[in-house]
Structure 1
Amino acid sequence: MPSSLSWILQWPWEVFPPRAKFGTGDIPDLTGRVALVTVRFSPLASCAGERESLWTGAEGCTGREHRTRQSDVQTNARVYLAARDPQKAATAIADLLHTTGKECRFLHLDLADLGSVRRAGEEFLREEKQLHLLFCNARGAMYVPMDQVTAQGYDMQFGTNVLGHAYLTMLLLPLLVETAAHSPAGAVRVVSDSSIYHTLAGRGGIRYDTLLDGPVRRKKLSTAAAYAQSKWANVVFAKELARRYGEKGVVSTSLNPGIIRTELLRHSAFHRAILNWSMFDADPEGALTQLYAGTSPATASAHGQYFIPLAREGVSRPDTYSEEAGRRLWEWIEQATAGVEA
């Protein structure tokens, strides 16, 4: 477990990273591999045909995610795009086809509805007998107004960023383990997007009494606190997944992709104005850390590792390494998703 000083000193290097030593040209051939990438399009976003509005005008579909999918298809992986808006997904798939000459497949997924997550998981299991790469990178719920909750009544930011992704991962775990049993070591990976904001979560990381909507949530939880605790939970879940399934061949990591120039901060003009001067473009820099964690031979045994921009190993907040915190979050997710009907 790192000291408090180590991750505090890391902050400047996350915000102002050195030039990356890893590039898209370093991705190995992924022929025969199957990848699933989650994105979350916003109904408020304009996708009127311009490439920029498509990739950065969506809630979670950034140039970073476009580059991830494009890199996967170019290296011959069979890629599924999991998103809630079929029309925007069709546009994205058409763009990738035009760019790469290869096609990825659409999987309908609304992370804010556990029923939709279950249907998506079941559909994928019907379609595929393998899954090598699961990129949980639809990080598009940030500073969401507190009157917005998921279909099951959970805080929108935690429900989208954590619960939806965790449930999808759990549904696909049997397939991930089976794939790992018949694949080279390090071939099966789950990459969970977090953020430098995980370091701003309150003491203990998660206030469990704020996760379901109600008086406590409205009184005790701000939009910033909700986002920070969801990103803390992403790191903790990734580490717990590594503890439980690392020996079965599933490499689970989390990362901070960097402060990227996207519409993620559309709910907070103040924070966008402050951070704009330190942001870097989503494509290609915003994808490098994710691609490094998911495809590089150098990260094939990086169980539980937290990566930072640009494509480097880092350390997360010390309390994210707690086995007790991981166990509690895992068990809470199991209880929250028990009995979900498609």
Structure 2
Amino acid sequence: MGQTASYLGQFFPAKPKFTAADVPDLTGKVVIVYLAARSKSKAEAAIQDLKAQTGKEALFLELDLSSLDSVKRSAQEFLSKEPALHILFNNAGVMWPPIDQLTADGYDLQWGTNVLGHFYFTELLMSALIAGAETSPDKKARVVTTSSFGNYMVKGIDFASFRDGPERKKLGPQDLYSQSKLGNVLIAREVAKRYGDKGIVSTSVNPGNIRTELTRHATFPGMKLLSVLVLYPVHYGAITQLYAGTSPQTVDANGKFFVPWAREAKPNPVALDSELGERLWKWCEEQVKDR
């Protein structure tokens, strides 16, 4: 009963105690979202909107996580400009696309984008993150990976479904999405385990059920009503990520999982399986080792 209640609490969370006003002074720190995005036009619109509202100007970094070549180019471009990185928000993603959609490298689109793309980007930027930790007053750099409530919706990881085939089609878009969100938590915990002694604080989050274009492939009956009942305005989606990525309260939260709004919680118990995390990490390494 208690665990069920905590799950439901992620859909109807209490009013947030942490807000954007609680983000500490980040002067001198380099952060991704830098702004890294596939669409230059959408990124530039967001940059202009940010400047109009805050007077601050973000920088565009072209990044398509569904292409490992793009991930590598993006990381190289960033490293050519910045010697250190202090906060990395891995918050891109796709949800429930048509089953025929694959990445440029032939992986399931959701797995390749949400998990493998973020893994590769983080690994390529790790030297800058370690440099960021070394130059921070608290000797920490943070990696925040966006999972979702979907991480609870699958019982495990089906390695045979990462590329196209019968296993992938049997799972279908919804389970493939949930599997990728479980993968996010597993990889975030592996980053914590492997780089924690170098000052890296790696966490994962369920940002909440947010009213964004991410749900554009959700065409089932009742979606409009569901949107009104359980989806929150887009700015709420930043609360838990900012808490994990900037708050002094989370500076020692390596490997933890956070849920709406800015609360620590337990992920799917499968995400705590260290052997599965190790196996998944090795699989990801194998995919990018010769690039």
TM over 0.5: yes
Task: Check if 1:137 corresponds to 2:133.
Answer: no
Aligned pairs for 1:289-328 (under 5 A) are 289-328=240-279
Query: 1:116 maps to which residue?
Result: 70
Instruction: Choose 320-329 or 95-104, whichever is displaced more.
Output: 95-104
Aligned 8 A contact 1:7 1:317 in 2: no
Query: 2:8 maps to which residue?
Result: 12
Task: Check if 1:174 corresponds to 2:136.
Answer: no
Which of 40, 53, 61 is the aligned partner of 1:86? 40
Task: Check if 1:258 corresponds to 2:211.
Answer: no
* Distance in 2 between residues matched to 1:288 and 1:130, nearest whole Å: 25
Aligned 8 A contact 2:189 2:202 in 1: yes
Aligned 8 A contact 2:168 2:176 in 1: no
* Distance in 2 between residues matched to 1:210 and 1:305, nearest whole Å: 27
Letter in 2 for 1:196: F
Aligned pairs for 1:269-284 (under 5 A) are 269-270=219-220, 272-273=223-224, 275-276=226-227, 277-283=229-235
Q: Secondary structure at the match of 2:17?
A: coil
State the TM-score, normalizing by the size of structure 1.
Answer: 0.82
* Distance in 2 between residues matched to 1:185 and 1:263, nearest whole Å: 37
The alignment covers a number of residue pairs equal to: 289
Task: Check if 1:245 corresponds to 2:195.
Answer: yes
Query: 1:155 maps to which residue?
Result: 108
* Distance in 2 between residues matched to 1:6 and 1:177, nearest whole Å: 39
Q: Which runs of 5+ in 1 are unaligned?
A: 38-79
Q: Secondary structure at the match of 1:190?
A: strand
Q: What are the superposed Cα offsets for residues 65-121 of structure 1, whole Å, 9 maximum, x if unpaired?
A: xxxxxxxxxxxxxxx101111122111112212222221111110010000000001
CA deviation after TM superposition for structure 1 residue 7, in Å = 4.2
Letter in 2 for 1:153: G
Q: Secondary structure at the match of 1:147?
A: coil
**Cα distance change of structure 1 residues 161 and 306 upon mapping to structure 2, 3 Å threshold:** same
Letter in 1 for 2:171: L
Letter in 2 for 1:278: V
State the TM-score, normalizing by the size of structure 2.
Answer: 0.95
Q: Identical aligned pairs, as a percentage? A: 49
Letter in 2 for 1:121: A
* Distance in 2 between residues matched to 1:249 and 1:107, nearest whole Å: 25
Q: Secondary structure at the match of 1:102?
A: coil
Q: Secondary structure at the match of 2:157?
A: coil
Q: What are the superposed Cα offsets for residues 16-43 of structure 1, whole Å, 9 maximum, x if unpaired?
A: 1011111111111000000011xxxxxx
CA deviation after TM superposition for structure 1 residue 269, in Å = 2.1
Query: 1:74 maps to which residue?
Result: none
Letter in 2 for 1:102: K
Aligned 8 A contact 2:24 2:246 in 1: yes
Aligned 8 A contact 1:121 1:168 in 2: yes
Aligned 8 A contact 2:240 2:262 in 1: yes
Task: Give me the CA root mean square deviation.
Answer: 1.4
Aligned 8 A contact 1:194 1:235 in 2: yes
Query: 1:26 maps to which residue?
Result: 22
* Distance in 2 between residues matched to 1:264 and 1:95, nearest whole Å: 20
Which of 208, 212, 217 is the aligned partner of 1:267? 217
* Distance in 2 between residues matched to 1:114 and 1:21, nearest whole Å: 38
* Distance in 2 between residues matched to 1:7 and 1:33, nearest whole Å: 38
Which of 213, 225, 235 is the aligned partner of 2:175? 225
* Distance in 2 between residues matched to 1:23 and 1:114, nearest whole Å: 35
Q: Secondary structure at the match of 2:234?
A: coil
Aligned 8 A contact 1:16 1:278 in 2: yes
Which of 81, 95, 99 is the aligned partner of 1:127? 81
Aligned 8 A contact 2:134 2:140 in 1: no
* Distance in 1 between residues matched to 2:284 and 2:247, nearest whole Å: 30
Query: 1:336 maps to which residue?
Result: 287
Q: Which runs of 5+ in 2 are unaligned?
A: none
Instruction: Choose 298-307 or 317-326, whichever is displaced more.
Output: 317-326
